[in-house]
Structure 1
């Protein structure tokens, strides 16, 4: 999507794309449309700096939840809302994203052949339209393809590439179109139809990359923006790898990219010393240096060098392939999120139960809203809920328990009390600098689903108007310990404490079972990216075994 957050606000406010627009979150700008970029506005700058660069800039603050309330609101004025009293909400953008993906899915489904859609982020998606292309090859060009195998050649006429978008690199006028080129051209036609459908129905523009694999398609999607599509023919790949910084390739922009750059620099430095040349400026930052190293430059590293530096052959083979434009990672049907999380950084740190309760209500409100939408759209329900918290300069901690509701309406006040009871059971949570609530382990909702443990299993019914946390005054561990709803029962597992002692687990972080790499438990994007990396390695290994 092109400047997606900005487009959502443009449509909501009825603004022209020619109006300079930026999305503000607290004091900084997190998204900038193309009109604002042309005026010198940049992301991550303060809104004061952005207004200085472009006085006519339209600033829109992301919607927020107010502390102690459950409604998403837009602030009035650039200095509102207050970070101490509000939590940023991206729900409107998630909802818009879901509408876009649905239009894409419906548009491709109209061809009458299977397709696979993989959600990469809120504004990015991979579409595998191989079966649609095969169908069109047979219907319009006389090819006979069965289960991915070409049985009968068809006719390949000269392709008018200027009708299909822009090339990743200039086309060779002497290049002969083959069946892969024809596939790419048909893919361009499908992409054009999808982009037109999204704009017609939602007024959002989309840029697309069309290629034979995910790595090339992702790179191509950013090649010509906005509202353009870029195709990568087989004859483009070698030339394109010579102008693409290697850190632009998926999974090579982080620690692995730095490790590869260090290996490359050591190799080049040794050769330069032998030839009597000076090495690169020692003061140059790794990121600045990486921008000058192209994917084709990294191809000088042998498979043996990569294996020695990365520590395992699988990673080395994967890197060896992607820097040459080869990627066998499949488009996986992962449109649905594995985990929903709502979090709030607390500054200054919270030291009272009542304030923490007010923020917990905000987190619950966001989670409940997403669960209601998920139940309606995808017929899924979580099996686990986790509260997370962090004290200043300490690692995040938390507790995970069975989700306490069966599919259906959720009373936010009672769910908030349940989550607060989990926090109280932790006891040593103050001063609290970060708090989060997540739900995970989603399962399909079926007619005969056995009733899950519900709130009634843990908390006795209470009058929320007269006996809620909000009306008891300042909360303490002592007052909660005296609460009748939390007192132990003589019957087995009829109270929160006995249940927690048997069912909870510490959640201080995520450790990969394959390589033991650790992540913070709330860094879900990095965890998902790391899992995708191992998935790609496993797939490459299986392909290598098949080839041997």
Structure 2
């Protein structure tokens, strides 16, 4: 048989209306997103999560809570957990105000104390807490790891947000392919091994039947999967097992997408919601992205991304861009280069509009920083200090939990950073709505080594962090260093990375792993009888962790070159636009990768002039 190529297999797992599922489970309602009472999660006056029964009744995300209650009289509104700066005599710490579940939907936008949670007064005195959802998200990630435990050394997991995860299954698929034997006896009910069969083709077909209902774009799903579909079918089979494990252990449903890259796998997971999955074959990638807005794709945010969109206007979708900029010789990249004046950016855009993307799955399950923030209007030092005290308590609580989870031998947090913002510019809101991040009101920040608690204890308690935070907020004379009003306060604690020995090993594996993954394919002999060495090489490429940043590079806050936002020293990406530290381009840009490889020289300027 002729040699074949095994593509990289990327899965995107997205929990269905996650916040609504968490609240439904907490309130002992039906957790199935297709059944149970209509339910929506409210934050102040808007809805941030809506389950499917409520959607069928006409309720939508971001709808005003009052309008939603009128649209669906049986709607159950649950406000997110909030924390107050005010204390009563019986309070031992900050008071948590939660929703009153006995209040009818029409009035259910009131807190337990009877104050309207969407009023400006309540918003100034309350802070949203996502602790409940972070805890649930952590349980989901643990369940994913449990489901993949027998292949834990061959997978990459990247948490994209609180309710979505990317998983690189390339090595697992390679391993299942190269180690498969006819009528294997060792398969158990929970094993990820392929079903028993007389031939590999029959085993893959049985895996496809077990993974139902899974849709496939590029194959009709009938009969025996063609050779090009086999690795994606195996990936779908694995994701079906993962999703089943999450449901059996946590009663959460999720949707999944399986494709050759992160961009298309994310689109695939949204194609058949809820509680289903879709795999996309490579020949269908271009069709998958044809009609989506470029502005919704990761990488087109920030200053550089918006400059690209402006140059491509009025074309806004991949289909329009291919029709508009493909030149007479049939080259899209050359046509884009003439308007973008950059070969690298043209290549990047051409890849994106063709459904190609080389952004790797980067493991990030280890928490690198803890952040707590509050946006509002703080008119004087007393109000600012109250909120710094509350934020300090939140950081201290989460730091204690993370220390317990890691074990005290894992090292101590290093830096405390205070971010703050003064009075908003008059055009701040307009710029925010328009996405002009570079024109937002700038923030300032100050950092210091994290102080220990009483008697040199670690982790420090809330009072210790609050004392240090106030010192960062004030001058040596004890006066605030910013004029009031203050409109945003944020505390961030950077956590220790891996040991020096681990860093050195990972730097080397990351170097070779990144090259392997960027190439887009894992070489093997005839599929499925691939050489074991290919699977081993793929496994090696997927064991690397992201290269650690040196302590010197983390010693001070940094300003994003794309949108100018000042970020915490521990952040590797901009909190606003997602650009990599030190890069002026979107994170998936090939130019950003090129800038990381070498610094520009004077010759680059001459070359640019000559090409122009």
1:535-546 maps to which residues of 2 (within 5 A)? 537=590
* Compared CA separation, residues 416 and 41, structure 1 to 2 (3 A): same
Distance 1:127 1:539, change over 3 A: farther
The 3 A distance-change label for structure 1 pair 262 and 360 is closer
How many pairs were matched up?
448
Change in Cα spacing, 1:110 to 1:505, as seen in structure 2 (3 Å) is closer
1:317 matched to 2:347? The reply is yes
Q: In the alignment, which residue of structure 1 is the partner of 2:519?
A: none
In structure 2, the residue matched to 1:5 is: 19
Tell me by how many angstroms 1:133 deviates: 0.9
Q: CA deviation at 1:429?
A: 3.8
Contact map agreement 1:32 1:41 (CA 8 A) in 2: yes
Q: Does the aligned pair in 1 maintain the 2:345–2:589 contact within 8 Å? A: no
Structure 1 portions without partners, runs of 5+: 143-153, 269-289, 447-503
Q: Structure 1 pair 371/126, CA: closer, same or farther in 2 (3 Å)?
A: same
Q: Which has the higher contact order (CA 8 A, sep 6+)?
A: 2
Q: Which one of 39, 48, 53 corresponds to residue 30 of structure 1?
A: 48
Which residue of 2 is the match for residue 395 of structure 1?
A: 442
User: Which secondary structure does the structure 2 equivalent of 1:117 belong to?
Assistant: strand
Shift of 1:416: 1.0
Shift of 1:517: 4.5
CA contact (8 A) 2:326 2:335 kept: no
Paired position in structure 2 for 1:442: 496
Aligned to 1:96: 136
Correspondence for 1:20 among 38, 43, 46: 38
What is the rounded CA distance, in whole Å, between the counterparts of 2:275 and 2:325 in structure 1?
Answer: 32
- 2:392 corresponds to: 364
Is residue 396–residue 521 contact of structure 1 (8 Å, CA) maintained in 2?
Answer: no
The whole-number CA distance in structure 1 between the counterparts of 2:138 and 2:411 is 15
Matches of residues 396-545 of structure 1 in structure 2 within 5 Å? 396-405=443-452, 408-425=458-475, 426-440=480-494, 442-444=496-498, 510-512=559-561, 517-521=563-567, 524-530=574-580, 533-534=586-587, 537=590
- C-alpha distance in 1 between matches for 2:442 and 2:560: 14
1:226 equivalent in alignment to 2:274: yes
| Contact 1:168–1:220 (CA under 8 A) maintained in structure 2 | no
In the alignment, is residue 216 of structure 1 matched against residue 264 of structure 2?
Answer: yes
> Aligned-pair distance for 1:48?
0.8
- Are positions 1:185 and 2:233 aligned together? yes
Where in structure 1 do 4 or more consecutive aligned residues deviate above 6 Å? 173-176
1:356-396 deviation line (CA, Å, top 9, x unaligned): 22111110111112212221224464311111222212522
Distance 1:121 1:189 in 2: 24
Structure 1 length as normaliser, TM-score? 0.73
TM-superposed deviation, 1:179: 4.3
Equivalent residue runs for 1:156-305 within 5 Å:
156-157=201-202, 159=205, 161=208, 163-164=210-211, 165-167=213-215, 169=217, 171-172=219-220, 177-252=225-300, 259-265=307-313, 290=316, 297=323, 300=326, 302-305=332-335
Q: SS where residue 210 of structure 1 aligns?
A: strand
**Aligned mate of 1:79, from 103, 107, 110:** 110
Q: What is the alpha-carbon root mean square deviation over aligned residues? A: 3.4
- Check the 8 A contact 1:30/1:44 in 2, yes or no: yes
Match of 1:339 in 2: 369
Q: Report deviation, 1:537.
A: 2.3
Aligned residues of 2:180 and 2:200 also touching (Cα < 8 A): no
User: Partners of 1:204 and 1:407 in 2: how far apart?
Assistant: 39
- Structure 1 position 230, deviation (Å): 0.6
Q: Could you list the per-position Cα deviations for residues 141-193 of structure 1 after superposition, in whole angstroms to 9, with x for gaps in the alignment?
A: 68xxxxxxxxxxx9545747565444354635899955441111110111001
Q: Distance in 1 between matches of 2:258 and 2:221?
A: 20
Q: Tell whether the 8 Å contact from 2:232 to 2:281 is kept in structure 1 after alignment.
A: yes
Q: Which moved more, 1:225-234 or 1:111-120?
A: 111-120
Does residue 1:117 correspond to 2:157, yes or no?
Answer: yes
For residue 254 of structure 2, give the secondary structure of its aligned residue in structure 1: coil
SS where residue 474 of structure 2 aligns? Answer: helix
Task: Specify the alignment match of 1:135 in structure 2.
Answer: 175
1:383 aligns with 2:414: yes
What secondary structure sits across from 1:119 in the alignment?
strand
Partners in 2 of 1:121 and 1:297 — Cα distance? 34
- Between the aligned partners of 2:241 and 2:383, the Cα distance in structure 1 is 51
Unaligned 5+ runs, structure 2? 1-14, 87-92, 101-107, 112-116, 183-198, 425-440, 501-553, 599-612
CA shift digits 1:26-81 (9 cap, x unpaired): 12211211111111112222211111111111111111111054354413342224
Give distance in 1, aligned partners of 2:39 and 2:311: 42
Question: TM-score, normalised on structure 2?
Answer: 0.66
Deviation larger for 301-310 or 157-166: 157-166
1:500 corresponds in structure 2 to none
Deviates more, 1:433-442 or 1:221-230: 433-442
Q: Deviations over 1:294-320 (max 9, x none)?
A: 676577372234334445333322221
Deviations along 1:109-141, whole A, 9 cap, x unmatched?
Answer: 224651110111111111111111111102226
> How far did 1:327 drift?
1.8
> 1:195–1:240: structure 2 CA closer, same or farther, 3 Å change rule?
same
Q: CA shift at 1:330, angstroms?
A: 1.6
8 Å CA contact 1:391–1:429 kept in 2: the answer is yes
- 1: CA distance, partners of 2:411 / 2:322: 45
